[in-house]
Amino acid sequence: MTLKNLLLLGQGSDLQSERGVSCTGELPEPSDPTLIERARIARAALGDRALILGHHYQRDEVIEFADITGDSFKLAQSAAAQSSAEFIIFCGVHFMAESADILTSKKQQVILPDLAAGCSMADMATANQVQHCWEQLAQAGVADVTIPVTYMNSSAAIKSFTGEHGGTICTSSNAQSAMAWALTQGEKILFLPDQHLGRNTAVLALGYSLDDCVLWNPWKPMGGLTVEEIRAAKIILWRGHCSVHGRFSIDSVNDIRQRVPGVKVLVHPECQHEVVCAADEVGSTEMIIRTVANSPAGSKWAIGTELNLVSRLARTHPDKEIYFLDKDVCYCSTMNRIDLPHLVWAMESLVKGHIVNVIEVDSTVASYSKLALERMLAL
């Protein structure tokens, strides 16, 4: 079976999907002993023409070549602040590269080394579903007083919907200020697509109760809710989640506390509410890194986020005890698609003048998405 058949549901054939299609190029073999040297040569040849951005969940072999590493907020800021590089090579996932394209100038091109690096959470809300939800909220008489707050982990089409309807984008590092801002603009929030980030922020940071939140199921008429429930709710949460962070459980929190006396539990806000409630600290990938770095030698941390980041923290902080908060391996499979062979292939192609894997958001979609992203950057 060819990879083309294997990815029949990729964006090439299914326009509802945020995910792209796989690489069509001649990738170097992962076992090529000259791969690191090839990467260095291609990087040097590109010089200032290229800027490489790397999300914290990327593999070490990729992070090694990143000019800037960050969480999704910092990378969006870095892309927006960058006006000179001709190419932004985005080592992260599709929605992040789309945001970088929206925030950079028309002269700059954003390259995603593997187009199949999507995000399963972003795929849990399609533009049609969101539009249909909005029509139903209008039928319930609440669309006029509802402000969409959309997590960065969403397609450009949904960011555009958000901008058009007076809403803002947020990331895990500014969800609190984004939601607080939205409630100065309207009476209710439609938070999408991550129910956990929305619920954790509404309840733990903004002081709402679980009863103020309702869950919108896009597969059911009226989201599976009654008109009364919709009218009474303060926060309407989209039924989406991250399959990586969804794995961390309350059992693992209890287990690690029992096995490692004095351990502190540090989790990403995409984890389930009960896990976040049982943790000591919660925050974005950037906050997780900062917290571990600022803790004294001998500190013990059990961390609930993607494994590439947790193992890097363990390696870079040998004076601290770092534990992974899951019993099994928990990589983000789509983040992991960007590896050294893809990065080398993308860089060598650019050196040869062959521009590959360009992420280009349609200009109508880009204009409202930009509005929503700029609202976030101004928060």
Residues that bind ligand 13P (CB under 6 A): 71-73, 153, 171-172, 242, 270, 284-285
Nearer to ligand SF4, 263 or 332 (CB): 332
Nearer to ligand 13P, 17 or 72 (CB): 72
Partner whose binding site includes residue 181, from ligand 13P, ligand SF4, none (CB under 5 to 8 Å by kind): none
Partner whose binding site includes residue 249, from ligand 13P, ligand SF4, none (CB under 5 to 8 Å by kind): none
Distance, CA of 347 to CA of 339 (rounded, Å): 12
CB of 285 to ligand SF4, least distance (A): 9
CB of 172 to ligand 13P, least distance (A): 4
CB of 34 to ligand 13P, least distance (A): 32
Partner whose binding site includes residue 7, from ligand SF4, ligand 13P, none (CB under 5 to 8 Å by kind): none
How wide is the angle at C-alpha 193 spanned by C-alphas 371 and 268, nearest 5°? Answer: 100
Nearer to ligand SF4, 89 or 117 (CB): 117
As a dihedral over the C-alpha atoms of residue 371, residue 18, residue 63, residue 271, rounded to 10 degrees, the angle is 90
Question: CA nearest 95: which of 185, 184, 157, 52?
Answer: 157
Partner whose binding site includes residue 171, from ligand 13P, ligand SF4, none (CB under 5 to 8 Å by kind): ligand 13P
Is 314:302 a contact under the CB 8 Å cutoff?
no
CB of 170 to ligand 13P, least distance (A): 9
Distance, CA of 327 to CA of 304 (rounded, Å): 11
Nearer to ligand 13P, 72 or 146 (CB): 72
- For 359, residues 6+ apart whose C-beta sits below 8 A from its C-beta are 90, 94, 97, 98, 100, 101, 110, 111, 112
Q: What are residue 141's phi and psi, to 5 degrees?
A: 80, 20
Partner whose binding site includes residue 334, from ligand 13P, ligand SF4, none (CB under 5 to 8 Å by kind): ligand SF4
Nearer to ligand 13P, 38 or 375 (CB): 375
Distance, CA of 349 to CA of 356 (rounded, Å): 7
CB of 57 to ligand 13P, least distance (A): 7
Q: What are residue 270's phi and psi, to 5 degrees?
A: -80, -5
CB of 194 to ligand 13P, least distance (A): 9
Nearer to ligand SF4, 119 or 142 (CB): 119
Question: CA nearest 336: which of 93, 22, 96, 38?
Answer: 93
CB of 4 to ligand 13P, least distance (A): 27
Partner whose binding site includes residue 149, from ligand 13P, ligand SF4, none (CB under 5 to 8 Å by kind): none
CB of 1 to ligand SF4, least distance (A): 24
Nearer to ligand SF4, 306 or 348 (CB): 306
Partner whose binding site includes residue 172, from ligand SF4, ligand 13P, none (CB under 5 to 8 Å by kind): ligand 13P
SS3 content of the chain, % helix, strand, coil (to 5): 45, 15, 40
Q: How many CB atoms lie within 10 A of CB 274?
A: 11
CB of 334 to ligand SF4, least distance (A): 6
Residue 50: beta bridge partners?
87
Is the backbone of residue 173 left (phi > 0), alpha (psi -120 to 50) or beta? Answer: alpha
Reading the block at residue 125, the tokens are 């809300």
Is 121:240 a contact under the CB 8 Å cutoff?
yes
Q: Which residue is nearest to ligand 13P (CB)?
A: 71
H or E stretch including 292?
helix 285-293
Nearer to ligand SF4, 188 or 245 (CB): 245
Q: What are residue 54's phi and psi, to 5 degrees?
A: -130, 120
Q: Which residues bind ligand SF4 (CB under 6 A)?
A: 93, 119-121, 153, 242-244, 270, 306, 332, 334-335
Partner whose binding site includes residue 230, from ligand SF4, ligand 13P, none (CB under 5 to 8 Å by kind): none
